[in-house]
């Protein structure tokens, strides 16, 4: 049976109605699945987020030492338990990935997944904040382009800065919308994010840096003086920007990562 027929068969057998809100688009393209799993080998523990019906999981179970899956939908967890009953190297956790203490359940694990579109950037940010070293994920193409852009480029968003701060990121392949059941309205790409040994810039308090970037991009239309004044008093901020020779009327997306780090350091010490 090919993977398309197998996916249809499982959907019918377990009476699955793909839940749009949970981003349930099941991948059946063998080439794409192998690409996502291409970097997995026998020494690896893998954290798979959103295993769904288990198509990617079954490849991971053959290639890795251990697979830990975190899936929000209890019905999917039931299917996985039945499908993979014979596998001793699988752990199934029925929880929201954003509520999981990743370092407790899977420290040193590589993350491999076909992520739900609706929370892709939150998941990637969460993984980076939790110091995950190796992430290979299938995500929406535009988000992949944003993540792999450089700060200052047109597609850049807050996530561009987070990734650039602590990781290298590259798109390793594209996957059409017709490779999924049901087919989503967007195309996808596989990205590989590798954490750097040291972040690209030094900063005294990472949290202030991340908060600064988040604040600036949620208030994108405002000047930096106005958007950042929610983080510290306006006059103090004016002084900091003047000291760093940064024009207070520019927008957040015009700042470099180094400038964000310098502002964060002066907020911390002033
Ligand atoms: N891995 C499967 C595949 O490739 O066919 C399914 C991928 S589907 C795009 C995303 C999966 O993530 C769904 O099974 C969905 O239920 C699950 N999911 C959605 N939100 C989640 C969350 N917050 N935590 C964990 N899993 C989640």
Tell me what pLDDT residue 89 has.
Answer: 96
Tell me what pLDDT residue 153 has.
Answer: 86
Tell me what pLDDT residue 161 has.
Answer: 94
Task: Give residue 226's pLDDT band: very low, low, confident or very high (50, 70, 90).
Answer: confident
- Considering the entire predicted model, what is its pTM? 0.93
Atom of ligand 1 nearest to the CA of 123: 23
Task: Give residue 216's pLDDT band: very low, low, confident or very high (50, 70, 90).
Answer: confident
Residues 175 and 221 in one domain: no
Does a structural domain hold residue 200? no
The alpha carbon of 248 and the centre of ligand 1 are apart by a number of angstroms equal to 42
Residues 165 and 61 in one domain: yes
Residues 231 and 141 in one domain: no
Report the pocket of ligand 1 as residue ranges, CB < 6 Å.
22-27, 49-52, 55-56, 70-73, 76, 96-98, 114, 116, 119
Tell me what pLDDT residue 81 has.
Answer: 97
Residues 123 and 191 in one domain: yes
Residues 218 and 255 in one domain: yes
User: Across the chain, what does the average pLDDT equal?
Assistant: 94
Tell me what pLDDT residue 221 has.
Answer: 80
Residues 83 and 9 in one domain: yes
Percent of the chain exceeding pLDDT 90 equals 82
pLDDT at 171 over 90: yes
Does a structural domain hold residue 210? yes
User: Residue 221 belongs to a domain with what CATH number?
Assistant: 1.10.8.100
Domain residue limits at 232: 206-269
The alpha carbon of 156 and the centre of ligand 1 are apart by a number of angstroms equal to 26
| Closest to 38 in 3D by CA, of 200, 224, 249, 191 | 191
pLDDT at 52 over 90: yes
| 168 membership: H or E segment, kind and range | strand 167-175
Among 4, 52, 78, say which to mutate for ligand 1: greatest number of ligand atoms within 8 Å of CB: 52
The alpha carbon of 149 and the centre of ligand 1 are apart by a number of angstroms equal to 25
Query: Under a CB-based contact definition with an 8 Å cutoff, are residues 223 and 251 in contact?
Result: yes
Atom of ligand 1 nearest to the CA of 117: 9
Tell me what pLDDT residue 232 has.
Answer: 85
DSSP letter string, 67-125: EEEE-S-HHHHHHHHHHTTT-TTEEEE-S-GGGS-HHHHHTTPEEEEE--GGGHHHHHH
Task: Give residue 79's pLDDT band: very low, low, confident or very high (50, 70, 90).
Answer: very high
Does a structural domain hold residue 201? no
């Amino acid at each position: 049976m090919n993977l398309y027929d197998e996916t249809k068969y499982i959907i019918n057998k377990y009476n699955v109605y793909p839940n749009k809100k949970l981003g349930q688009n099941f991948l059946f393209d063998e080439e794409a699945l192998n690409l996502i799993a291409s970097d997995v080998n026998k020494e690896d523990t893998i954290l798979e987020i959103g295993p769904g019906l288990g198509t990617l999981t079954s490849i991971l179970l053959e290639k890795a030492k251990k697979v830990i899956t975190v899936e929000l939908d209890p019905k999917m967890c039931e299917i996985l338990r039945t499908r993979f009953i014979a596998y001793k190297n699988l752990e199934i956790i029925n929880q929201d990935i954003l509520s999981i203490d990743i370092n407790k359940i899977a420290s040193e694990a590589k993350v491999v997944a076909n992520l739900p579109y609706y929370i892709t950037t939150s998941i990637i940010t969460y993984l980076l904040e939790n110091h995950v070293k190796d992430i290979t994920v299938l995500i929406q193409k535009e988000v992949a382009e944003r993540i792999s852009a450089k700060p200052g480029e047109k597609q850049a968003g807050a996530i561009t800065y987070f990734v650039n701060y602590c990781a290298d990121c590259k798109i390793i392949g594209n996957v059409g919308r017709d490779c999924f059941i049901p087919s989503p309205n967007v195309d996808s790409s596989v990205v590989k994010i590798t954490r750097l040994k040291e972040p690209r810039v030094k900063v005294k308090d990472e949290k202030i840096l991340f908060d600064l970037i988040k604040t600036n991009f949620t208030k994108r239309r405002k000047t930096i003086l106005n958007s950042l004044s929610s983080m510290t008093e306006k006059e103090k901020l004016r002084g900091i920007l003047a000291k760093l020779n940064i024009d207070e009327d520019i927008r957040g997306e015009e700042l470099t990562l180094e400038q964000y780090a310098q502002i964060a350091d002066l907020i911390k010490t002033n």
